[in-house]
Each structure stands twice: as structure tokens, then as C-alpha cells.
Amino acid sequence: MKMEKEEYAIVIEYLPNGYPLEKKMMPIVQAVGTVNLTLLELVPRRGVSIVLGQKVYIGEGKREEIYYILGRLHREKLTEPAKEQLKELIKKIVKEKKHIDFFNNSEAINKKVHQIELLPGFGKKHTQEILAKRKEKSFKSYEDMKNRIQNLPDPEKAIERRIFQELTTFERYNLFVS
């Protein structure tokens, strides 16, 4: 599967003097790509003001705010404020239809584990109920899921937690982040 290239990123941290314990004192922007949710380290242009939550262009050609892309941001370098910003950003992202479609289109990873089971709070019982209900009719929203399945953990919160886990810790299987 070919990954789509990131064109834009959302700023989750701005370090005007770089990382505190590193000798290089160049400004760093920690950001997350809008398409693949890739964690990125960016170097801003001189004299440009960077604001948390700002959407910056990182694609080909002339970039207004970003001088160059340093590369992928290692999860160990994520600052605590960046993690908090990330949680808020994920809440907005999870409202998108593609995350509801996850419940309609997810598949088994192998004979014993289904993708839905990897969500925090979802086990085999919930997975079986979701699979049975989606055969009858696709889910239209998180609310629709909660109404059709009894005692279901909040699917929106579960996806938020899973995306945050995939971005901040090592996961064997990534469902949402590339």
C-alpha cells in the first residue's frame, strides 16, 4: 500500500531554542501530519511566528513557515506539552467519518485477533456484537453504534486512546498511524 505524502502538518510544540539538552540551538517545531498522522520534526524559517495548533504547509515547492523537514519525530522526544496538544488534536480528528468506517470495514488480523479487539476496552464479546450488527446494517455514527449495541465502551474515546498509544508508544499493529 503506497502511503500518501504529507502536504500539511499541525504544530503541537514549538521550541524556539531547540531541545534543552542538545548543543545545537536551532528552533524546532514538533508537528503531526494531517493525512498519515506522522510525527515530524520541522525547522521553521527565521522571523516567522509559530503558534500551537497552526496548520503549516510542508509539501513540495515554496513553504511560507517551514524552512525544511528534519525528519520523523521519535516518540521519546515528544515533550509533555506536545502530548497534551496531541490529545486535543486527536479528539478533533476522531470525529471524521473514516473512523466510524473503521467499525464497518475492519478485518481479522489473524485467526485469533480482530482489529476491533486492539481498541482499549473492546474484547471478543464486543467485537462479535459489532460484527453481527454491521452485517445487518452499516453504522452511521458513534451514537448509532451505542444505540444498537448494549454496554458498548465509548467507541470515540477508544479510538482516541488507540491513536494516542500508537503515536507515543510502540505497538505491534498500527491501525490508524503510519
pLDDT at 157: 93
Select from 164, 175, 177 the least CA-distant residue to 78: 164
Structurally, at CATH architecture level, domain 97-168 sits in: Orthogonal Bundle (1.10)
DSSP output for the chain: -PPPPP-EEEEEEEETT--TTSS----EEEEEETTT--EEEEEEPTT----TT-EEE-SSS--SSEEEEEEEPPGGG--HHHHHHHHHHHHHHTTSHHHHHHHHH--BSSSS-BGGGGSTT--HHHHHHHHHHHHHS---SHHHHHHHSTT---HHHHHHHHHHHHHHS--SS-SS--
The alpha carbon of residue 9 and the mean position of all alpha carbons in its chain are separated, in whole angstroms, by: 12
CATH no. for 8-76: 2.40.50.140
- Average pLDDT score over residue span 89-116: 87
Which residues pair with residue 83 across a beta bridge?
none
Domain-wise residue ranges, the chain:
8-76, 97-168
Q: Provide the percentage of residues in the chain whose pLDDT is more than 90.
A: 68
pLDDT at 158: 93
Q: Provide the percentage of residues in the chain whose pLDDT is more than 70.
A: 98
Across the chain, mean pLDDT equals 90
pLDDT at 1: 45
Is 76 exposed, middle or buried (CB count within 10 Å of its CB: 0-12, 13-18, 19+)?
Answer: exposed
Q: Given a cut of 80, is residue 24 above it in pLDDT?
A: no
